[in-house]
Amino acid sequence: MKKVKIGMISFAHSHANGILKELLAIPDVEIVGIFNNQPERVADHADKNGIPYFEDHKRLLETTDADAVVICSENAFHTKYTLDAAAAGKHVLCEKPLGITVEDMKRMIEACRVNGVQLMTALPCRYLPAVRQAKAAVERGEIGDIMAIKATNRGRMPGRWFIRKELSGGGAVMDHTVHVTDLMNWFLQSEPEEVYAESGTLFHDDLDVDDAGIVHVRFANGVAAVLDPSWSRAESFPIGGDITMRLIGTKGVIDVNALGQVNELYSDELGKMQWSYWGDGMSGYMVRAFVEAVRNGTEVPITGEDGLRSTAVALAAYESIELGTAVRLRL
């Protein structure tokens, strides 16, 4: 089996820790280097696993024989790192949102195309068991044609660079719109055409970005969808967030609670109830799909275009909020 060599560019996003763990568990995958502009953030990973540390991402790209890189930086730097990786002939798995402007994302897609490398967007919710079972049921025609979708991706306020607009591109609407919008795109196989949104800062007084919102989307096939992407979960909430969808069809309804596979744990020592998730994780399947695409030269399952379509909805939502009216997507 051909060995796949991968470099890690930035651990700014906490998902990087889980992705590294999944990569290390895959046979014939070698991590050839880690870059992060804060060495202390990755020192334990590098030392524990014997992975070379690079102070400059371009040195990692130029001096290693990496086949691909995983980018988990602040959102504002996704474009720079992807363009450099593409120029160096490396395939890319990029954390969501793919970029913070439509123009940047188009540049990323085009650079990867011109340089003959693949660009995959890290949207792992497609691999959640409940989501995949619902997708199969829809494809079997069990609820007829989908007419409307009501969804949520509510979570805790993440703090750090996520609440600095110049690094994140926005608040809760940017952070939490993309996952479920990608699922909507995937289920409907139709382009999002029109967006109306409202937002506010309702749960955290000291934020300069939105922590609450409601996003309405109309698709080219006429389906209407609504999403709550708010950072409305308190620190004491049992889990970090949720992914839910109600799929309303001409013949029936499917309710998806994608992170609902939990046991309730009551602990006097902890002083509160907790949920213990027992369902399959999603990142492992996503990472293995990327590795196999690189290994076999096949198309990645969640493309840069997929990342563009989902992120464009979040960007259109902010435009709608500013204008106070519905806006057309211009992809």
CB 323 within 8 A of CB 197: no
Helices 283-296 & 15-24, crossing angle to 10 degrees? 60
Q: What is the pLDDT of residue 308?
A: 98
State the Cα–Cα distance between residues 185 and 182, nearest whole angstrom: 5
Helix (H) or strand (E) holding 251: none
Final residue of a domain: which of 72, 92, 117?
117
The answer on 99 and 61 residing in a single domain is yes
Q: 261 near 278, Cβ under 8 Å?
A: yes
Number of domains in the chain: 2
Of the three residues 117, 152, 185, the one that is the final residue of a domain is 117
- In degrees rounded to 5, what are phi and psi of residue 286? -65, -45
172 and 321: one domain? Answer: yes
- The per-residue DSSP string of 285-318 comes to HHHHHHHHHHHHTPPPSSBHHHHHHHHHHHHHHH
Checking 20-28 for CB contacts under 8 A at 24+ apart, the result is 20/45, 22/283, 22/284, 22/287, 22/288, 23/70, 23/287, 23/291, 24/49, 25/284, 26/287, 26/288, 26/291, 27/1, 28/1, 28/2, 28/3, 28/4, 28/295
Domain of residue 111, CATH code: 3.40.50.720
- pLDDT tens figures, 70-113: 999 999 999 999 999 999 999 999 999 999 999 999 999 999 99
Give the whole-angstrom CA distance, residue 76 versus residue 312: 15
**Partners of residue 253 on adjacent β-strands:** 248
What per-residue confidence (pLDDT) applies to 269? 80
* Domain encompassing residue 8: 4-117
Same structural domain for residues 76 and 156? no
Whole-prediction pTM = 0.94
Residue 323: inside a domain, yes or no?
yes
User: What is the arithmetic mean of pLDDT over 211-240?
Assistant: 93
End position of a domain, from candidates 97, 117, 137: 117
Based on the fold, state whether residues 86 and 135 are members of the same structural domain. Answer: no
* Same structural domain, 144 and 243: yes
Name the pLDDT band for 59 (thresholds 50, 70, 90).
very high
DSSP-derived letter for residue 207 is -
Q: Is the pLDDT of residue 299 over 80?
A: yes
Is the pLDDT confidence value at 116 over 90? yes
Confidence band of 166 (pLDDT split at 50, 70, 90): very high
